[in-house]
Chain A
Amino acid sequence: NAGVTQTPKFQVLKTGQSMTLQCAQDMNHEYMSWYRQDPGMGLRLIHYSVGAGITDQGEVPNGYNVSRSTTEDFPLRLLSAAPSQTSVYFCASKGTNYGYTFGSGTRLTVV
């Protein structure tokens, strides 16, 4: 029972590079979200999806892109990495219950 799987676990990027953070869930959950976590700021919502083909912006969407072509996958794309995007990124999913299941995170450093 894998739950929510995020890859990679660690990544170092140079300013201006692009990359995709992968997220997959095997629980047939409709809702999926991406958060970033920075010290003293809790988790902030980047993008959010209520089902395949439907996405919406969260609190801090600038510089990030998402798509949801299948129920299982919800990749997060960094278009042109900036040092301000250095953070820990979490993907989460939920079904009919209220609570979310989180992945173990991707620690991203932009130099």
Chain B
Amino acid sequence: TQLLEQSPQFLSIQEGENLTVYCNSSSVFSSLQWYRQEPGEGPVLLVTVVTGGEVKKLKRLTFQFGDARKDSSLHITAAQPGDTGLYLCAGGAGGTSYGKLTFGQGTILTVHP
């Protein structure tokens, strides 16, 4: 069974601060996906990284996939109250299990004005 450890579980910061969320595993994933979830809604895909060492930027969000494809990070620069939500990382399996996702526990981010 593949496991993904996501940290921190809770993050409460002031508007304008920077933050980083981490996802770590002892398993290799074929892809690493990041989702954001609002209360009462399903997760919405933010980005997918598939190549070891890959870095993707989405406005103030920077996503990185570890060289060995076992870990990933999400960095938010100058956080805003609109960034508040649940952030989830998910590792995609390969081979005969392609399409299966393993989720981390999630990080609840609160950005105070």
Contacts and interface: CB of A to CB of B under 8 A. Distances in A.
B105 A40 contact: yes
A61 B5 CA distance: 22
A94 B42 contact: no
A58 interface: yes
Given A40-B9, A42-B88, A104 B41 contact: yes
A85 B52 CA distance: 37
A31 interface: yes
B9 A94 contact: no
A13 B101 CA distance: 29
Interface stretch (A63-71, A76-84, A95-103): A95-103
Contact of A42 (B48, B50, B92, B103): B103
A50 interface: yes
A43 B100 CA distance: 12
Q: How large is the interface on A (under 10, 10 to 19, 20 to 34, 35 or more residues)?
A: 20 to 34
Contacts of A33: 99-101
A48 B99 contact: yes
A36 B46 CA distance: 20
B38 to A, nearest CB: 10
Contacts of A104: 40-42
Contacts of A43: 43, 88, 90, 101, 103
Nearest to A35: B103
A98 B92 contact: yes
5 contacts: A4-B42, A35-B103, A41-B105, A100-B101, A102-B44
